[in-house]
Chains A and B, each alone.
Chain A
Amino acid sequence: MQLSHDDVRHIAKLARLGLTDKEVDKFSHQLSDILSYAKMLDEVDTSNVEPIAQITGLKDVFFDDKQKDCEFTDKLLEQSPMDIQDHMIKVKSVF
């Protein structure tokens, strides 16, 4: 597998991750190596195998759907490096 510079830039854009040209070049080589290595999984026959995501088999874990107060709303808001206005984070313009 060979990832081009444009492939790497596309993935970085999807991930909202800025990269320098040097990083784009480095990752195109490293990701190509890593993904080529991962293609060895094609050797394993997985027909009729269900994928697994919850390894201990737990499912449908419920809790009461009740509104609760958060004890530290203001402290959470203080974490933001943005301006705070009326208990909301003020972000920069989208355009």
Chain B
Amino acid sequence: MIDLTIAQTNQGLKEGKFSATELTQAYLDRIDQTDDKLHSYITITKDLALEQAKKVDEAGDFSSPLSGIPMNLKDVVCTSGIKTTACSKILENFVPPYNAHVYDRLLDAGAILLGKTNTDEFTHGSSTEHSYFGVTKNPWNTEYVSGGSSGGPAASVAADQCAFSIGTDTGGSIRQPASLCSCVGLKVTYGRVPRYGVMSYGSSFDTIGPFAKTVEDAAIVLKAIAGKSEKDATTPDVPVPNYTDFLKEDLKGVTIGIPKEYYGEGVEQETADVINEGIDVLKKLGAEVIDISLSLTKYAIPTYYLLAKSEASTNLARYDGIKYGHTTDDAKELEEIYMKSRQEGFGDEVKRAIMIGTYALSAGYYDAFYLKAAKVRALMKKEFEDAFAKCDALITPTSPFPAFKIGEKADDPLAMYMADVLTVPINLAGVCAMSIPGGFSKDGLPIGMQIIANQYKEENLFHVGHAFEKATEWHAKKPNL
């Protein structure tokens, strides 16, 4: 039953084929059997999950599509009374006193929490190699990374260790690991899902979204978590449609743009070939395909890293050894507490983020770096607006290459940043995008197809993604574990 989709599971629960408790136990067994190999989970909330499942079974109400559905949360999503570590030493033993709004919405919908999953420290990274608790391995080949930062959520969905997961995407942290592990990963429009209670990376970029086994499942989860919240002032009053109404199997009347810059330098030929084959499938389904140019794409990495690391350096200022988290036991006066607690508590990539960000925001460099990047961002947003005046969705590879070997890029920050070259422009423009299984490399590693749509047009992603999924078998392939 652990390989069923959410809709199939809901049907099984309704028909009494299995109980929520049996289902939850099956997922817990799967985690028990496979997580030594993968290390997706940081915390497993077995007792809580079985308690939640029992309550759902007793109530016997499966009218909510997520009632009794077991899931996990990336370990930056606060869970009251349950450790939430950001996979950082500085929050190693942090137990939040309240729930993130997204978790509350999922609890209201009847979902069951299996545990908390791995991420690069404070979501800074593209491989989970920056997690204080160690790397999450790729379910398709455990010598390779799962991607990041949401490597734990992606691997856990691909390996059937949960029905769905919730991650965060600041520059690609949902889509890139979804691509590397072969599952669906949705980066919503900025502000579509409230961020209250989720630890921040870059506040003008951060989004929350689902990992799922199918496009339909992602649409079901988004419906439950999207919409305006009093607790997050950046969530606008834009209606949340019934996303599942948009799941059609043909693409007649749909115009798809192909931005040539996403197939050029730095993108492996095999990856480009797989996505081009996917575009042929979309054409056969009735889509009109046109060429688009996004000429500023090559500036996305420096623009993104200057802005995101600047925002991160300010967000990370709250970890000072005073209010919560790790504090040094080797300080006599206040400033020494700050300096040493942060030195001892933060890992390498987070320290680098603080340094880059502080530099870019410091007097004398603000105009040349931060402000310059914020202006280039405005131009990139305009370029996307112009593109979406001509088409309903864009199709690109999600990642320029399939999963890389553990250790291959760990000591070269610029090489690691390049893994995000096709995902960060979407966060810069605040639009939405989704990675879906698009094929495999000759070495058997997954290759994701990225669908991009305008702000608050998630339904376009679901339409195109669902039609592709129904016409192909990639999403149904499972790793051998």
Contact = CB atoms under 8 A, between A and B. Distances in A.
Contacts of B333: 92-95
Interface string A34-53: 11011011111010011111
B323 A80 contact: yes
A4 to B, nearest CB: 13
Interface in A15-73: 15-20, 23, 27, 30-31, 33-35, 37-38, 40-44, 46, 49-56, 58, 61, 63, 71-72
Nearest to A45: B379
A43 B352 CA distance: 25
B359 A41 contact: no
Contact of B343 (A19, A43, A50, A91): A19
Given A54-B204, A55-B190, A15 B354 contact: yes
Contacts of A35: 356, 359, 369
Contact of A41 (B303, B381, B414): B303
Interface string B283-307: 0000000000000101101110110
A31 B359 contact: yes
Contact of B414 (A11, A37, A49): A37
A22 B112 CA distance: 46
A37 B360 CA distance: 13
Interface in B328-380: 331-335, 337-340, 342-344, 346, 351-352, 354-356, 358-359, 362, 369, 371-379
A89 to B, nearest CB: 6
B355 A38 contact: no
Contact of B97 (A23, A46, A76): A76
A38 B369 contact: yes
Contact of A89 (B317, B323, B335, B378): B323
B238 to A, nearest CB: 9
With most chain A CB atoms within 10 A of its CB, the pick from B334, B359, B374 is B359
Interface residues of A, number: 51
B97 A79 contact: yes
Nearest to B351: A17
Given A23-B351, A46-B375, A56 B359 contact: no
A51 B367 CA distance: 11
Nearest to B320: A16
Interface string B211-244: 0000000000000000000100110100000000
A14 B358 contact: yes
Given A18-B342, A75-B97, A40 B302 contact: yes
Contact of B305 (A17, A20, A34, A72): A34
Given A80-B324, A92-B331, A41 B340 contact: no
Given A44-B299, A49-B378, A56 B236 contact: yes
B264 interface: no
Interface residues of B, number: 67
A31 B236 contact: no
A11 B358 contact: yes
Contacts of A40: 298-299, 302
A34 B323 CA distance: 32
A34 B351 contact: no
B302 A37 contact: yes
Contacts of B359: 3, 11, 31, 35
B91 to A, nearest CB: 10
Given A15-B354, A18-B340, A94-B333, A79 B362 contact: no
Interface in B431-457: 455
A8 to B, nearest CB: 7
A44 B414 contact: no
A16 B342 contact: yes
Contacts of A75: 97
A56 B97 contact: no
Nearest to B326: A81
Contacts of A42: 372
Contact of B338 (A16, A20, A61): A16
The 5 residue pairs across chains A and B that have the minimum distance between CB atoms: A55-B430, A18-B343, A51-B374, A75-B97, A79-B324
14 contacts: A15-B355, A15-B358, A17-B351, A27-B351, A27-B352, A31-B356, A38-B302, A40-B298, A46-B376, A56-B190, A56-B430, A58-B234, A76-B97, A91-B322
Interface of A: 3, 8, 11-12, 14-20, 23, 27, 30-31, 33-35, 37-38, 40-44, 46, 49-56, 58, 61, 63, 71-72, 75-76, 79-82, 89, 91-95
Interface of B: 94, 97-98, 189-191, 204, 230, 233-234, 236, 296, 298-299, 301-303, 305-306, 313, 317, 320-327, 331-335, 337-340, 342-344, 346, 351-352, 354-356, 358-359, 362, 369, 371-379, 381, 413-414, 428-430, 455
Given A33-B414, A43-B299, A93-B333, 14 more contacts: A16-B342, A17-B355, A18-B339, A27-B355, A31-B352, A31-B356, A31-B359, A35-B356, A49-B378, A51-B371, A51-B377, A52-B377, A79-B323, A79-B325
